[in-house]
A and B are shown apart, each in its own frame.
Chain A
Amino acid sequence: MTDNTATLRSTLPRSTKSGGWLSSLLMRFEALRGYLLLSPTLLIMIIGICVPLFILVGMSLWTQHGFEFDKSLTLANYFNVAEQPIYKALLARSILISGGCALATVILSYPMAYFVAFHVHRHKMVWIILMTLPFWTSYLLRVFSWKIILGYNGVINSGLIGMGLIDQPLEFLLYSPLAVVITLTHAWSAFAILPIYVSLEKIDRSLLEAATDLGDGPVRRFFRITFPMSLPGVIAAALIIFIPTVGDYITPTLLGGPDGIMLANLISAQFGKVNDWPMGAALAIALMVTVALFSVVFVIISRKVTERIT
């Protein structure tokens, strides 16, 4: 045994001399090193995501009977999701609202990112941090403040009445899909600014000069060079906004009103008032699959665009 370790030691590279068998093992097997580095994260992923997901999938195959679970496996819940129009309508609305939200966020964040990337020359980081200010307050507080701004007697309505532009408060402002889109857009804008900023910052300035040199004015140059080159950042931003907002239920609950309810509200109701956990699980899975499909499409488009650019 001692002989064996001795020969083993002698075959190892010199640099591992000082360490024990573990370090020499790690030097040799890069994959092992990788797993070891990953292990804290991996552990959290397994406990926090994989296990609950497994439970969720399992539960979605059960059915609820009164206060009891019928644990015989069945796809009944999924058939239910497919057949009941309310689920499909809410799923479609969720996608529309968060799609609109992603679009609005990107459109509103782009000029800000553009400004910092091209027109700020000093203290760029300060500007970026200032733009992430909305994130410094609680999400709930932000939602409530929008309630005050958009409300029946809120800032906008009383302002417009005060200016004599309208007689009656505008009712579509609060408790509507519009309110949900406005609030979510504001809440998530920082997430969109960063990837767009990075993609703009990466553009080689001499490309812009070349376009100018070849006869493009500022507007034409933007649409022929700047915008296409920043598309990877735009797509990433849209995806980053779309994924979390599609499952949001706080904003729709507080600001959405009856027309602004999204699928996530229904899912939370299944686990609460309705008390049909298996149905809630099936709906959650259905939403997750839909988001995954959208993400895959986004990623493929983004790949294609990036390939064209680099």
Chain B
Amino acid sequence: MSNNSSFISIQNVSKSFGSVAAVSDVSMEIGGGEFFSLLGPSGCGKTTLLRMLAGFETPTSGEIVIDGQSMSAVPPHQRPVNMVFQNYAIFPHLNIHDNIAYGMRKERLPQAELDKKVEEMLEMIKLPGYGKRRSHELSGGERQRVALARALIKRPKVLLLDEPLGALDKQLREQMQMELRALQRSVGITFVFVTHDQEEALTMSDRIAVMSKGRTLQIDSPTELYEKPITREVAAFIGTMNFFDGRVVSVDNDQIIVDAGALGIVKGIKDTTNFGVGEMAQIAVRPEKFSLSIGAPNGVGNFIEGNMISTAYLGERSYFHIAVNGIDQPIAVSAQNSASADINIRDHKGQVWLGWPDAAVVLLKQDASHSQAQ
């Protein structure tokens, strides 16, 4: 599989249903062999975009190019893509063997060779000998695998997956995430994966496009998305984020100083986003970037005094809410539950100290629609 960075090129694609715009002016480049996720809440246009890649919907405007070939005039049954449907869409009147072999009819393979190929696919999805069974005899996870095999046997250039793990229970879903990721690595086919589950997108993808209301908000690697969201919407959608309002005091070559009122003077690292002195900025800090201590931390650094108002024990980690004078919303803090130290903190009531490194601070442009601190 070619490894160029724009194996799939989506160029200014819009799609409206009547007066409703499902996808508005979306552009992205997806690399060959990439595991690419479209992430967003329901109704954000991610499924419509996927269906346009498959050819089930025609873009109102814009163009989709796959492997150098424009898809505008290519009907869905002739596209070099295959899809795994949300409900799997296993043909109920055919057995598993015939389901997997369904798309191979055009290849006109001799029966023995076809049977061998199907059996190979069954081995790959760890369901050997299931060929004679019917779809209603299979569990959800097994059907999901069959849907996968049925699409992969055709060796498509791109595999489209429409929330394929949505119907599975949590444990099976996590197992399938691993398997799917491993499978994608071994076959080397470009996967375009639609999901509303941010955790799923983060664990599986090479890159993620976060979508909302028919537009892309940010396209980046999972780490970048989590550590350096470029808008408040992305920051709030992926994981938990604490937001504070501030005003830029000074900007120099490598850092931005922001006066955040009750939080004090906050230093943020300067990256691509430009701020002018006196501009309002959003300060965003992830819950796990805070450190929590009962006594006042000695030495220099950023810290602030607060009051522990609630704790939640979640097994591997604990969540704390800390009220700070002058800040409306309690600050969310999370900490790993390690063997000894934190136990005190977990049972602690009353005064605590919050500390954070400068690197934990993400500075965002003040967003007109979300000017209220969360």
A212, B92: Cβ atoms closer than 8 Å: no
Per the 8 Å Cβ criterion, residues 34-54 of A in contact with B are none
A254 within 8 A of B: no
Judge whether A229 is part of the interface by a CB distance below 8 angstroms. yes
Can you sample 26 A-B contacts with CB below 8 Å?
Answer: A204-B89, A206-B89, A207-B91, A209-B56, A209-B89, A210-B89, A210-B91, A213-B54, A213-B76, A213-B77, A213-B82, A214-B77, A214-B150, A214-B154, A215-B78, A215-B106, A215-B154, A221-B77, A224-B102, A225-B91, A229-B92, A229-B93, A308-B92, A309-B92, A310-B92, A310-B136
B83 on the A face (CB < 8 A): yes
Q: Decide if A214 touches B103 in the complex (CB within 8 Å).
A: yes
Chain A residues, Cβ within 8 Å of B154: 214-215
Whether A217 is near chain B, meaning CB under 8 Å from some CB there, is: yes
Knowing A209-B56, A310-B136 touch, does A214 contact B93 (C-beta < 8 A)? no
Task: Indicate if the CB atoms of B102 and A214 lie closer than 8 Å.
Answer: yes
A9 to chain B, nearest CB (A): 48
A212–B76 CB distance below 8 A = yes
Minimum CB–CB distance for A167 against chain B, Å? 50
CB 8 Å contact bits of A199-230 with B (1 = contact, 0 = none) = 00000101101111111110001001100110
Can you add 17 more A-B contacts, CB < 8 Å, to A214-B151, A215-B77?
A204-B87, A207-B89, A207-B92, A209-B76, A209-B83, A210-B83, A210-B85, A210-B150, A213-B54, A213-B76, A213-B81, A214-B154, A216-B77, A308-B93, A308-B134, A310-B92, A310-B136
CA distance A56 to B325 in the complex (A): 97
* Residues 35-93 of B contacting A (Cβ, < 8 Å): 54, 56, 75-78, 81-83, 85-87, 89, 91-93
- Point out residues on A near B: beta carbons under 8 Å: 204, 206-207, 209-217, 221, 224-225, 228-229, 308-310
Number of A-B contacts (CB under 8 A): 62
- Across the interface, do A228 and B93 meet the contact criterion of CB distance under 8 Å? yes
Instruction: Give the complex CA separation of A215 and B150 in angstroms.
Output: 12
B87, B93, B103, B151: residue with the most chain A Cβ atoms closer than 10 Å: B93
Specify the chain B residue showing the minimal Cβ separation from A228: B93
Bound-state Cα–Cα, A7 to B252, Å = 93
Considering the complex of A and B, which 3 residue pairs feature the smallest CB-CB distances, nearest first?
A: A214-B103, A210-B89, A206-B89
Residues of chain B within 8 A (CB-CB) of A206 are 85-87, 89
For chain B, give the interface size range. 20 to 34
B85 touches A209 (CB 8 A): yes
B105 at the interface (CB under 8 A from A): yes
Are B89 and A212 in touch, CB under 8 angstroms? no
Instruction: List, in ascending order, chain B residues with CB within 8 A of A228's CB.
Output: 93
Is the pair B102, A211 in contact by a Cβ cutoff of 8 Å?
Answer: yes
In residues 135-162 of chain B, which contact A (Cβ within 8 Å)? 136, 150-151, 154
Cβ-closest chain B residue relative to A229:
B93
Nearest CB in chain A: distance from B97 CB, A: 14
User: How far is A217 from B103 in the complex, measured between Cα atoms in Å?
Assistant: 11
**Measured between C-beta atoms, what is the minimum distance from B7 to chain A in Å?**
19
CA gap between A229 and B92 in the complex, in Å: 9
Q: Which residues of A contact B78 (CB under 8 A)?
A: 215
A220: min CB distance to chain B, Å: 8
Instruction: Give, as a whole number of angstroms, the nearest-CB distance from A175 to chain B.
Output: 44
Q: Which of B90-113 contact A (CB under 8 A)?
A: 91-93, 102-103, 105-106
| Distance in Å: Cβ of B304 to nearest Cβ of chain A | 53
Q: How far, in angstroms, from A310 to B90 measured CA to CA in the complex?
A: 11
Residue in B closest to A206 when the chains form the complex, CB atoms: B89
| Cα–Cα distance between A216 and B101 once the two chains are bound (Å) | 13
Shortest CB-to-CB span from B237 to chain A, Å, is: 28
A305 vs chain B, min Cβ distance (A): 8
Min C-beta distance of B58 to chain A, whole Å: 14
